[in-house]
Structure 1
Amino acid sequence: MDNLTVIQRSPDPEEVDDRSRTRRSIADKIRAVGQNRIGALLLLLATFAAIVWANVATGSYESFWETHLSVGVGDIQLDFTLHALVNDALMAIFFFTVGLEVRREFAIGELTSWSRAMVPVVAAIAGLALPALLFVLIARGSGYEQAWGVVISTDTAFLVGALALVGPRVPGRLRVFLLALAVVDDIGALSIIALVYTENFQPLPLLIAAVGLAGVFFTRYLPTGRGPVYATLAIIVWLAFLASGVHPTLAGVAIALLVPVYRPDRRDVEHALELARTFRQSPNSEYARAAANSLRESISINERLQSAYAPYIAYVILPLFALANAGVVLSPEILSGALVSPLTWGIVVGLVVGKMLGVFGSAAVMKLLRIGEFGPGLTLDRIAGGAALCGIGFTISLFIVDLSISDEQAQNEARVGVLAASVIAFLFATLIFRISDAVRPGGDTRQTLARPVDPRRDHVFGPADAPYTIVEYGDFQCGFCLKASGSIQEVHGVLGDRLRYVWRHAPLTQYHPNALAGAEASEAAALQGRFFEFERGLFADQENQRPSDIVRLARDLGLDVERFERDLTSPEVTGRVQDDILDAEAMGITSVPTLFINGRRHTGPYDAQSLIRALERTAPDSAQIDPETPAAH
């Protein structure tokens, strides 16, 4: 093997640059986590401020939020209290973003495939039913059994923020599980609000709302000016819901479910790039406007609205809601009453115990019976911590308190229960995560392959029963992955059919902008049985992997291009790549290539000779490599 080239992983300026980019990638993740934390902290501060305000300035809290505002023209007048303005109008925007997320998850997200969605869907349903059952059992005879809706829903904003604050070291797959669960949880909560807590129903205004919603659906076909049309129709629909007696926040959900969502189309992206090049060559306001409009239109309005509203929801609307609804008076009388109140204890037990048993219990049973897909990193200890966090029912719980309970004393007792349950759930989850991380072997980096090689799932080059295995987590735009690919080809030349090579995706999208597109394109090619040919094509031209380049490669390989383009945006393709990315995160993979030799993480050089020595060192005695085996050419 003297003719093999030795490739060392060090003193290379390009690798130094890759390492600095990896550090920037980590910094980007930290900033994203920081945004979630800020939203949760603002919500917490607003809650604390509301409690202090209600208890220090006696009477001013209620009188302020009961201030009336009148808006109207002529005989048409709308009269709102500030409290109603927050709960009925601003919260409609919050529920609008919830509806956008629901629509996205069912169209292109985690809930597109039943096999992938089964675990969070079943866990969410159990997490809705069991808390309500426990509440009714405990509150039976109190006269407030109808308030069971208070305990059904998890606060998604607090859930995400708390996960960022106290979650496990590698929360990726748990985060996906909890977000999918929260979407189903929100659907259940919104349905219950509409069916159970709607009073004085008037059907005629809903006919006007239906016409407005039809207009929202068809607005997508307007060539320009869709924004003002959407806004006008949204106001009409909201007013119609308000007049019908159905809670007007549900108007936000109804509108969001009709807003189109789609993955960026290759042709739209290419058109935007061409306009950007035209602007660069001849900068003027007309070309700038055309390029900006084209770039914006290449992204679905659903995703544009989610990103646009997210800061206002996290930093303004939810803190305002907490300020307007969390002002419980903590007098000795109220606290002593809450301490013995079946209403308060029903809420605490329903949220803390019911959510924990419902979510964790159903997931544990499914894992035991091997129903649904969990994936590396979604272990029972992680699910237990997430299930405990689901007991934070803050936003919708306080919302339903106002809808289901009219007595002020009982409302205060219910709010005490919601606040106490949220604090207990947060502390309980923190304890579970800390114990889980403390006893988990290997810290952030796993030395063994988390997901065993599965020929039915993985892209395997070589016999399935080969005695030697190399699994690579890589990125098609990474120069070092290209070098590793060359080394592995040399190893295959030496070992032949005694080696099987497996590729898995770990695209570093923070500094390889086309890496994710390349990974998804290779999966689309795999559906036509041409994965490794496509892989070689991507490695052969790492600098040109734009959408048009990817389609051209598919055409050059003789693929069915029409089917290839359809598959590029299919849930099967995007889900497959996402699974590999989450597996990589679960194993602490932060740079590529990362190789696993016979199931063990490889450290050090990855030239052919080093890889052969590692294969021999970790292989069973019956599969030792003959040092005299000639290299194939």
Structure 2
Amino acid sequence: MSHLTLIEQSPDPEESKRDGQRHSIADRLRSMGQVRAGAFLLLGATLAALAWANFAHGSYDGFWDTHLTLSVGDLQLDFTLHALVNDALMAIFFFSVGLEVRREFTIGELTTWSRAVVPVVAALAGLTLPALLFVLVSAGSGYEQAWGIVISTDTAFLVGALALIGPKAPGRLRVFLLALAVVDDIGALSIIAIVYTDNFNPAPLLIAAVGLTAVYFTRYLQSARGLVYGSLAVVVWLAFLASGVHPTLAGVAIALLVPVYRPERREVEHALELARTFRQSPSSEYARAAANSLRESISINERLQSSTAPYIAYVVLPLFALANAGVQLNAEILASAARSQVTWGIIVGLVVGKMVGVFGSTALMRLLRVGEFGPGLTLDRLAGGGALSGIGFTISLFIVALAIDDEAVQNEARVGVLIASIIAFLLGAVIFRISDRLHPSEEIGRTLLRPVDPTRDHIFGPVDAPFTLVEYGDFQCGFCLKATGSVEEVHRELGGRLRYVWRHAPLTRFHPNALAAAEAAEAAGRQGKFFEFERSLFSDQEHQLPSHIIRRAQELGLDIERFERDLRSPAVAARVRDDMLDAEAMDITAVPTFFVNGKRHTGPYDAQSLIRALEQSAQEPQPGSSA
């Protein structure tokens, strides 16, 4: 989701714009700070591992080779600390990957083919081409089978790098890269399971299958689900370990069975009622009921993602880097790496293969008009994203240990991963700096990036009218309410010569119900009642809870069962999110914001000012007013 922050735009647009910029900048800095923290900690652990391995190599190897033994009766598990990190802790990381995969394919960006085709094709090209280049460069080395090292992008470093060096308004690029990373992870996990599994024993997988079946049915328990999930996870992990399939994949298998759904609005409102009851009569019973109701209104998938994310970012991944990035970088090893086909295969695969694979495939799809790109996802930004996809740190290092037995060659491979990741980061930074120069900030948002489309947009008035007025607004915004009077007066004055378009820019920071109201209007629009629902929302801005929204739908004669189904649909949420990402791409920081015949309106938005602006621009090019 975009981190766009808006404010209500008063009749003094310059003052509200300054306030909006302050709020937007502060929120973006906070968001980027949270993302950067995990990436910087991962980078710090990598540097610490390098320093430890080079200044005290004996203690580094000795520490991670320390054995831990756990015995229960005749059952005995023996792990080195290195194996404990790679086999056990990384299962938690892969569990989070599985949760994200399940979410994206159920309620996220990958729910429909038109939205999924671009990141899916880009990810497949970004998996295939690096592997082919690695095999070509490493041919004759005896390690051609290690091509899995170059197939995956490090999502943590990718998101951190995008926050650190990315372009202005990177929302749509971030959504694209995260969707790509999900597909990329699926490919990497599949390859680990199929290609890098040794000593396969199918019998324990029968136990794993029983455990996974129990995981699926655990959702129906009324209580103690956490304890049951945890116990079954241990059983499934041990079964995978005994089977020879890498045990980290148990985390993925479990995550794919954890239910995910969009919050039921009635359940959310019930939770709010319990919270109000607790406020009026504080007691442990009401507190427990309110807490349970709030928790249950959010899917287990999303609760687990939010609860495990800090441990993965601040514990699991830094420990993995500390245990796996300790490469000696003396002259002899560097000279050996410089001559190594494996090292160069990794560098060429990650830097060239990922860049050409991701950028080339998306450029071709854009040329052929295949899939949805959306405003802001330009070729220069796709090139920068393709370059950053070459940061293949975590899973690349993970596969090094699986694909290569020789310790000297492992060192050469790790050197290749580190160098390739640095080059990919620097290349992405250069591309984004060039991109920002090509799109000066003063030019951003002057014209409507997404042309008005009668098949997509909500249009009031003739679709072929000579005048077009587009408004980005919020149904709980007081100034947007005042602007509706201006729009109605403009329509009375111009009649059939005006087409008016509403697009969503909910102020989620200030209006907690604004996003739900936008999605409800979209759901009503699917039954041909968008503007009727809009007027109903504006008529009573103080009452926009789920029960009020359902009541409005009933009053308008909507099919309530269909309306509620559409409210939960990913398509409705994606439609609103698209408008929000468009607003971010145009640097819209205050609402209402108007576009007059495709050009951004910067003056007052009373009726006469809007009419004058429409008439003055009638003879000018209208980049956003044609279908």
Normalised by the shorter chain, which TM-score bucket? over 0.9
By how many angstroms is 1:19 displaced? Answer: 7.1
* Structure 1 partner of 2:83: 84
Alignment pair present for 1:105 and 2:104:
yes
By how many angstroms is 1:26 displaced? Answer: 4.1
* Contact map agreement 2:10 2:479 (CA 8 A) in 1: no
By how many angstroms is 1:571 displaced? Answer: 1.8
* Contact map agreement 1:170 1:444 (CA 8 A) in 2: no
Aligned positions of 1:83-482 closer than 5 A: 83-443=82-442, 445-482=444-481
Q: Secondary structure at the match of 2:590?
A: coil
Paired with 1:446 and 1:421, the residues of 2 have a C-alpha distance of 36
Paired with 1:99 and 1:26, the residues of 2 have a C-alpha distance of 33
Paired with 1:620 and 1:449, the residues of 2 have a C-alpha distance of 17
Distance 1:25 1:169, change over 3 A: closer
* Contact map agreement 1:169 1:444 (CA 8 A) in 2: no
Distance 1:208 1:8, change over 3 A: closer
| Count of equivalent residues | 614
Paired with 1:30 and 1:296, the residues of 2 have a C-alpha distance of 29
Alignment pair present for 1:535 and 2:537:
no
* Contact map agreement 1:8 1:606 (CA 8 A) in 2: no
* Structure 1 partner of 2:3: none
Q: Secondary structure at the match of 1:613?
A: helix
* Structure 1 partner of 2:12: 10
Paired with 1:24 and 1:468, the residues of 2 have a C-alpha distance of 33
By how many angstroms is 1:485 displaced? Answer: 1.0
Paired with 1:120 and 1:222, the residues of 2 have a C-alpha distance of 36
Paired with 1:58 and 1:231, the residues of 2 have a C-alpha distance of 37
- Could you tell me which runs of 5 or more consecutive residues in structure 2 were left unpaired when the two chains were aligned: 1-8, 623-627
Q: More deviation in 122-131 or 54-63? A: 54-63
Paired with 1:426 and 1:618, the residues of 2 have a C-alpha distance of 44
By how many angstroms is 1:25 displaced? Answer: 5.0
User: What TM-score do you get using the length of structure 2 for normalisation?
Assistant: 0.96
Cα offsets for 1:359-404 (capped at 9, x unmatched): 0000000001111110000000000000000000000000000000
* Structure 1 partner of 2:482: 483
Cα offsets for 1:598-628 (capped at 9, x unmatched): 11000121001111111111112899xxxxx
Paired with 1:58 and 1:250, the residues of 2 have a C-alpha distance of 31
2:226 is aligned with what amino acid?
Answer: G
1:45 is aligned with what amino acid?
Answer: G
* Structure 2 partner of 1:616: 615
Q: More deviation in 187-196 or 606-615? A: 606-615
Alignment pair present for 1:515 and 2:514:
yes
* Contact map agreement 1:464 1:500 (CA 8 A) in 2: yes
Q: Secondary structure at the match of 1:489?
A: helix
Q: More deviation in 249-258 or 434-443? A: 434-443
Distance 1:255 1:576, change over 3 A: same
* Contact map agreement 2:393 2:421 (CA 8 A) in 1: yes
* Contact map agreement 1:444 1:587 (CA 8 A) in 2: no
Paired with 2:584 and 2:617, the residues of 1 have a C-alpha distance of 24
Paired with 1:170 and 1:265, the residues of 2 have a C-alpha distance of 31
By how many angstroms is 1:231 displaced? Answer: 0.4
Cα offsets for 1:115-174 (capped at 9, x unmatched): 011100000000000000000001000000010000000001110000000000110000
Distance 1:579 1:605, change over 3 A: same
1:334 is aligned with what amino acid?
Answer: I
* Contact map agreement 1:355 1:388 (CA 8 A) in 2: yes
By how many angstroms is 1:443 displaced? Answer: 4.2
By how many angstroms is 1:227 displaced? Answer: 0.6
Q: Secondary structure at the match of 1:283?
A: coil
1:9 is aligned with what amino acid?
Answer: P
Cα offsets for 1:484-523 (capped at 9, x unmatched): 1110100111000001100000111011100110010011
Aligned positions of 1:41-56 closer than 5 A: 41-56=40-55
Q: Secondary structure at the match of 1:59?
A: helix
By how many angstroms is 1:24 displaced? Answer: 3.9
Moved over 6 A (4+): none
* Structure 1 partner of 2:5: none
* Structure 2 partner of 1:606: 605
Paired with 2:378 and 2:231, the residues of 1 have a C-alpha distance of 47
By how many angstroms is 1:332 displaced? Answer: 1.1
Distance 1:119 1:8, change over 3 A: closer
- Could you tell me which runs of 5 or more consecutive residues in structure 1 were left unpaired when the two chains were aligned: 1-6, 624-633
Paired with 1:283 and 1:32, the residues of 2 have a C-alpha distance of 34
* Structure 1 partner of 2:585: 586
1:10 is aligned with what amino acid?
Answer: D
Q: More deviation in 71-80 or 109-118? A: 71-80
By how many angstroms is 1:406 displaced? Answer: 0.4
* Structure 2 partner of 1:630: none
1:414 is aligned with what amino acid?
Answer: A
Paired with 1:324 and 1:557, the residues of 2 have a C-alpha distance of 62
User: What TM-score do you get using the length of structure 1 for normalisation?
Assistant: 0.95
Cα offsets for 1:553-582 (capped at 9, x unmatched): 000000000100000011221111111111
* Structure 1 partner of 2:563: 564
Percent sequence identity over aligned pairs: 76
* Structure 1 partner of 2:504: 505
Cα offsets for 1:92-130 (capped at 9, x unmatched): 000000000000000000000100111000000000000
* Structure 1 partner of 2:4: none
* Contact map agreement 2:20 2:590 (CA 8 A) in 1: no
By how many angstroms is 1:342 displaced? Answer: 0.5
By how many angstroms is 1:10 displaced? Answer: 2.9
* Contact map agreement 2:20 2:589 (CA 8 A) in 1: no
Paired with 2:569 and 2:183, the residues of 1 have a C-alpha distance of 22
Cα offsets for 1:52-96 (capped at 9, x unmatched): 110101311111100001112232221110000100000000000
Q: Secondary structure at the match of 1:455?
A: coil
Q: Secondary structure at the match of 2:57?
A: coil
1:391 is aligned with what amino acid?
Answer: G
* Structure 2 partner of 1:35: 34
Cα offsets for 1:295-325 (capped at 9, x unmatched): 0000001000101111111111101100000
Distance 1:277 1:78, change over 3 A: same
* Contact map agreement 2:13 2:602 (CA 8 A) in 1: no
Paired with 2:388 and 2:25, the residues of 1 have a C-alpha distance of 25
